[in-house]
Chain A
């Protein structure tokens, strides 16, 4: 039997509706079970979560099928694909615009639900029921939103177009195949931490066990967010043709805010798990982190922002997401207001203790998030009040972030080695002196060697990153008593933290170097001419055209010379995509650990000359290398043994914590 492929959109639509039904049941049945104390009803939570995800996956596959089949009778396919589009981009076009990316969003939410369902054997069933029920509520909201306002399966009948309008050329790129799904995994993953927090509030069991369950999930979401943000930055760097890697664009800010709060949450969860403190604060952070993910979705999807990411402005969608945001934030804060006062944190700590340092860490991270929020929403509020249009310059964000990052790094260096409850400065004095002196010497040395002068910004950036890295590694050395063999015995969680903190240091070094020592020049250059920039010469060899599958590009070839020797041949392109007749700049980049060479084309000028942008960007890769370290650190922490062992000991711990709390 074969199904007529003509009906795939209807199948996809049907699957989407069935997933909505499943999600609605997933909300109601387990909660009723919890209410009545009936285990068999709670037991439905897991199969319903799996069922919901299954139908969402079917729906997503149907849409993908439509793209692969060039079925332009479907409006979304017609608008975002083209028969000439290479196959990998036909697949990534599925999430290339609003409707499809929303379907991807809910599918990922469903898959996180499956992960919770499958990996929660150690959890009491009533907790699983509550968590999955809350995740079901989010699903219902967003699946409804998809069906009501942004249905990707809508048909263009009876007269479908001959060919599609093509995928936005900006998005025809490897970075865009992987960036949005990763970022979405992070955004959506925070819903698990959110659901755990609300479930704990509902049950009144806000204890160490809850924090332990919640931690690996939060870390997993955080890893995806970290990679997603780094990928976005990398993509903007090579695809937009300016050589910038962070623009403080509202869409970037929308991803940075949840990351900052999720980072704060990770650290606050550590305190809640180990010491039973900061409980209400941790819950609040979990609520904030997911709310900011939703706010990000609202900002990007409602079209309230001026940005390349705001694909369409549709007030109906904006109002719908705003309503979802309102219900989600309002509802969870109401629950918090009702339940949090009953939560008491017991336990004392001295001024010099890990608790204090983690508190300060949370404070700095929250101030950072608040600064980004202010800078992002200020133009919207200003416009809304009819005062006019304005934009907040990157200079402001930089002015906010530099001192905060310095404070954060200094605290991190100490916070990782200070003991819980109470510690003495004298115990840490040796390491701190070593780290401090190394930091200053290193920063002065590098900045003198590289530029012959001392720049305040360079000194500060290098000093705090060296301080952070040296203090962190010195602590490893001290804990392992200088023996390599002992390092693996320090625990994966601890080593994960070390890796992540070193990663922060690496990123700060990268940012400092690239911000202070980048050189660039825009030139008018004709074939045969040579331009010098820093230690490099750029020889314009020739100009020509290249035929791509769905574009024609004007290309320029350069020899990159150093000390009179050709070290690389660079080909920059300016592509004209046929379907939309739009132009894209493809920069030529020679990347290495120590510096990037970046060549991008401007416009053709008289006499065969071109306007070209030439850049030398030292340590550019370090910015993203640090993010890789952070993610690997997170991965180590998630894989820590104690999360795998917890199956047996969990019930005992929970009972004990319960006893201790009451």
Chain B
């Protein structure tokens, strides 16, 4: 083979190999860095292992927000209408965080079933509902109806 061509072939092979390795690493790393959204119902049902970083969200339950008297710790509960998840957070909450508002938090479940949030997101618009939360609410609502129908069927039978 012409030496120059051989050189070019080597370059191409090298590039292909490099790209293949890069893509492989990128996809592996991607699978390590995705944060799945889990609804309160899923968390309450024990579908989420403690220590795994996930996103969880729902409506902040009325009367559930409690600030520590010292420091910036806060505890609250979120719900999708079916189940509730207790959350703790240390730090500054977003402007639109308030009771009844839809929020999404990033964090991990601890062994007591409390969600330890490292980040709490609420969007800058009070009419805005995070789509994840919207879907979770609708799903919980439908499941609720289905189980009521089942229950009704059971009493009738």
Contacts and interface: CB of A to CB of B under 8 A. Distances in A.
A582 B125 contact: yes
Interface in B23-41: 26, 29-30, 32-37
A363 interface: yes
Nearest to B19: A367
B22 A367 contact: yes
A450 interface: no
Contacts of A391: 34-35, 37, 55
Interface in A378-398: 378-379, 388-393, 395-396
B67 A396 contact: no
Interface string A564-602: 000000000010000011111100000000000000001
B71 to A, nearest CB: 6
A653 interface: no
B7 interface: yes
Contacts of A392: 30, 33-35
- Measured as residues with beta carbon below 8 angstroms from the partner, the interface class of chain A is 35 or more
Contacts of B26: 371, 374, 400
Interface string B80-92: 0000000000111
A522 B92 CA distance: 7
Given A351-B7, A389-B37, A396-B29, A574 B123 contact: no
A170 interface: yes
Contacts of A348: 4
B35 A613 contact: no
Contacts of B130: 306
B123 A308 contact: yes
A351 B14 CA distance: 13
Q: Which of B4, B11, B33, B132 has the most CB of A within 10 A?
A: B33
Nearest to A398: B33
A524 B71 contact: yes
B135 to A, nearest CB: 7
Contacts of A605: 67
A170 B71 CA distance: 29
Interface residues of B, number: 36
Contacts of B15: 363
B93 A602 contact: yes
Contact of B131 (A306, A396, A602): A306
Given A396-B29, A400-B26, A602-B93, A390 B131 contact: no
A400 to B, nearest CB: 6
A563 interface: no
A602 B92 contact: yes
B124 interface: yes
A122 interface: no
Contacts of A351: 7-8, 11
Contact of B34 (A308, A390, A612): A390
A371 B29 CA distance: 11
Given A374-B26, A378-B30, A389-B135, A582 B126 contact: yes
Contacts of B112: none
B107 to A, nearest CB: 12
Contacts of B69: 606
A367 B22 CA distance: 9
B146 interface: no
A547 interface: no
A284 interface: no
Contacts of B123: 308
Given A306-B131, A524-B70, A399 B124 contact: no
A48 B11 CA distance: 49
A379 B19 CA distance: 23
Given A367-B22, A524-B71, A393 B92 contact: no
Contacts of A584: 95, 124
Contacts of A375: 30
B96 interface: yes
Contacts of B29: 396, 399-400
Nearest to A400: B26
Contacts of A535: none
Nearest to B7: A351
A611 interface: yes
A407 to B, nearest CB: 10
Given A308-B124, A524-B70, A613-B92, 12 more contacts: A308-B123, A348-B4, A350-B4, A363-B19, A371-B26, A374-B30, A389-B37, A390-B34, A390-B55, A399-B33, A523-B72, A582-B95
Q: Which 3 A-B pairs have the closest CB atoms?
A: A602-B92, A396-B33, A389-B37
25 contacts: A306-B131, A351-B8, A363-B15, A374-B26, A378-B34, A389-B36, A389-B37, A389-B55, A390-B34, A392-B30, A392-B33, A393-B35, A396-B34, A399-B29, A522-B72, A523-B72, A524-B71, A581-B126, A582-B95, A582-B124, A582-B125, A602-B93, A603-B93, A605-B67, A606-B69
Interface of B: 4, 7-8, 11, 15, 19, 22, 26, 29-30, 32-37, 55, 67, 69-72, 90-93, 95-96, 123-126, 130-132, 135
